[in-house]
Structure 1
């Protein structure tokens, strides 16, 4: 990889795309939930809203019914856990950000 396409730059663009896409997906879910209520189309539990808000969770050490991973060093106890939440729009945002990264930079 060249300097302008370094691994750190790729990770930065992926994270930014996921964040913007996740926020946009939640906003669209709220908008379509309100529209579903106004138009008597199932309220907040309509198909379009559920498409944008449904997420895929990846939890390591945290989550429903799980206790965090404990690291006991006698004087210090650490609880470790990690979670990622993807929705459809965040994945689309990630793809768009990778495309922008590919075409950005000096030519």
Structure 2
């Protein structure tokens, strides 16, 4: 049987990914509104933290392309922090 620690790590990862995605979506919405036009460029500027260039594996029948990059903006980082605080509370 699984212990509660592995379950809580999975739930924490789900909270953090959801917080980052919702923060990124909120940042894009803020960037498109006229109300925050003065500070929006600072809030939605992305920071390249980690990146693996795409690697293609061609098997002549199937072609796989793998790659990964992490480019958060300030609002998505705020979403991560709020998600972590919500996880600790519940």
* TM-score normalised by L of structure 2: 0.77
Residue among 52, 56, 60 paired with 2:43: 52
The 8 Å contact of residues 53 and 87 in structure 1, kept in 2 or not, is answered as: yes
In structure 2, what is the Cα distance between the partners aligned to 1:99 and 1:80? 33
TM-score by length of 1: 0.66
Contact 1:18 1:90 in 2 (8 A): yes
Tell me, yes or no, if the aligned pair for 1:60 and 1:82 is still in contact at 8 Å: yes
Q: Note the residue ranges of structure 1 that are not aligned, 5 or more in a row.
A: 37-43, 62-67
**Displaced runs of 4+ in structure 1, greater than 3 A?**
none
The offset of 1:74, in angstroms, is: 4.4
Larger radius of gyration: 1
CA RMSD across the alignment: 2.2
Q: Which residue of 2 aligns with 1:41?
A: none
For structure 2, the 5+ residue unaligned runs are none
Q: How many residues are treated as equivalent by the alignment?
A: 86
Instruction: Give the corresponding residue for 2:27.
Output: 25
The answer to whether the 8 A contact 1:26-1:52 is kept is no
